[in-house]
Amino acid sequence: MLSRIWPSVILHARSPYPSLASTLIARRTVIIPGPIEVTDEVLYANAHPSVSHMSADFAAVFGESIRMTRDVVRTTTAQPFLISGSGTLGWDQESATMALETYGAQVDQLRAEFGGTVDVAQVEQALRSKKYKIVTITHVDTSTGVLSDPRLVAEAVKRLSPDTLVVLDAVCAVASEDIQMDGWGIDVVITASQKGLGAPRASAAMKVFETRSKPVTAFYASWKRWLPIMKAYESGSAAYFATPPVNLIRAYHESLSQINKASPTLDERLRMHRETSARIKVAATELGLRQLATLPEIAANGMTALWCPDGVKSSELVPAFLQRGVVVAGGLGTRKGTHFRPRPYPPPHCPHMGITAINSERGDVDRIIDVLREVISEATSRR
């Protein structure tokens, strides 16, 4: 198993870090919604000896990471912010800048049925009823594995209320689902890779931010403080507001480099995710398991959330997966304990992400399906 993941020849030739290799003995297949499986190259990038965040070498890496971030969400105009923090920091940044509920905004929430999506007609009705500053959309709802259609919502917003900004929470979607920031008119994309990453479009969101009448109500999370830093790094020189996570940026850079390689292209990667997702979903259906997503066309491609078989709790299934070396997440939300979330997995955090989905030599998908079969048949035979 060791050689499957880290061929020993590579290990000896490249690894100056034997302690890293020794951790592999206990290595499991992690298919939770982050942290996810990453490539060896990303692991090595993360283990790079320390460099100064003000050095020219690091400025080049940071600047390239900013540029490559645009490609993943298909924009040429957005301003990426690579900030140390989790996905929630992305929301804090956005809220601090635009003033959402925590910061005093009035919020209307359009609710979907469990396992469903909000109908675009509901969005249109809301947009006709009053003027909104922002419409936010969760691309993939991580609790249910439901995929929304940001293109349709953005189109309705631009048609009925062109000044309203469209903000996409793509924490669980970037690089496993298609995101066309420029093409669909999304103003801000929020995602994460152990660091908050927001990419507001220059034209709309940045203008709103620049013309705010009140000062931004945050210190660390303020775009104002980070914008000159991002611009400096992108132009090849270092600048300081707060110390960036140097090694995480290196690992992120490595991930983006893999994603932006000619082969497979981003389109091919997305197709591979759809194929992997279909394999897992078919296998689950054959086992009599139902997805939380109520329709196939609203099921995410980077994860699968399944109802437990009748009479079986996710608290029984999760340890059974673990015993077989596969780490899955138990169900969350209103029906706690009744569903679980094996993920084929890729997304948000790791833009190279699809290693489980796109590298069939690893055998992750076969393993997930085999273990799923074993665990479900064991649990149902005990009922």
- Is 237 near ligand PLP (CB under 6 A)? no
Distance separating the N- and C-terminal Cα atoms of the chain: 34
Among 87, 185, 302, 344, the residue binding ligand PLP under the rule CB under 6 A is: 87
- Per-residue x/- track, 29-58, ligand PLP (CB under 6 A): ----x-------------------------
Q: What is the C-alpha to C-alpha distance for residues 199 and 141, in angstroms, rounded to an integer?
A: 20
Q: Nearest to ligand PLP by Cβ — which residue? A: 87
Among 83, 98, 123, 172, the residue binding ligand PLP under the rule CB under 6 A is: 172
- Per-residue x/- track, 178-217, ligand PLP (CB under 6 A): --------------x-------------------------
- Provide the minimum distance between the beta carbon of 130 and ligand PLP in the complex, in angstroms, as a whole number: 26
Among 137, 167, 171, 312, the residue binding ligand PLP under the rule CB under 6 A is: 171
Q: What is the C-alpha to C-alpha distance for residues 96 and 182, in angstroms, rounded to an integer?
A: 24
Q: Which stretch binds ligand PLP (CB under 6 A): 36-44, 83-91, 204-212, 307-315?
A: 83-91
- Is 365 near ligand PLP (CB under 6 A)? no
- 119 to each of 148, 184, 246, 309, how far by Cα in Å? 10, 18, 42, 29
Question: Going by C-beta distance under 8 Å and a sequence separation of 6 or more, which residues neighbour residue 182?
Answer: 74, 75, 76, 77, 78, 201
Q: What is the C-alpha to C-alpha distance for residues 80 and 67, in angstroms, rounded to an integer?
A: 8
Number of residues interacting with ligand PLP: please give it, by CB under 6 A. 10
Q: Which residues of 228-244 are buried (b: 16+ CB within 10 A; e: fewer)?
A: ebbebbbeeebbebeeb
Residue 140 and residue 146 in contact, taking contact as beta carbons nearer than 8 Å: yes
Q: What is the C-alpha to C-alpha distance for residues 176 and 291, in angstroms, rounded to an integer?
A: 18
- Provide the minimum distance between the beta carbon of 87 and ligand PLP in the complex, in angstroms, as a whole number: 3
Q: Which is nearer to ligand PLP, 11 or 82 (CB)?
A: 82
Which of 212, 10, 231 minimizes the C-alpha distance to 97?
212
Q: Which is nearer to ligand PLP, 78 or 171 (CB)?
A: 171
- Residues between 136 and 155 with contacts to ligand PLP, criterion CB under 6 A: 138, 142
Question: What are the structure tokens assigned to 229, written together?
Answer: 């830093």
Among 88, 203, 243, 360, the residue binding ligand PLP under the rule CB under 6 A is: 88
- Provide the minimum distance between the beta carbon of 201 and ligand PLP in the complex, in angstroms, as a whole number: 20
Q: Which stretch binds ligand PLP (CB under 6 A): 144-152, 168-176, 235-243, 361-369?
A: 168-176
Burial (Cβ within 10 Å: 0-12, 13-18, ≥19) of residue 217: middle
Among 169, 177, 178, 254, the residue binding ligand PLP under the rule CB under 6 A is: 169
Among 86, 217, 260, 294, the residue binding ligand PLP under the rule CB under 6 A is: 86
Residue 245 and residue 89 in contact, taking contact as beta carbons nearer than 8 Å: no
Q: Which is nearer to ligand PLP, 168 or 230 (CB)?
A: 168
- 177 to each of 38, 40, 70, how far by Cα in Å? 18, 23, 15
Residue 171 and residue 190 in contact, taking contact as beta carbons nearer than 8 Å: yes
Binding residues vs ligand PLP (CB under 6 A): 33, 86-88, 138, 142, 169, 171-172, 192
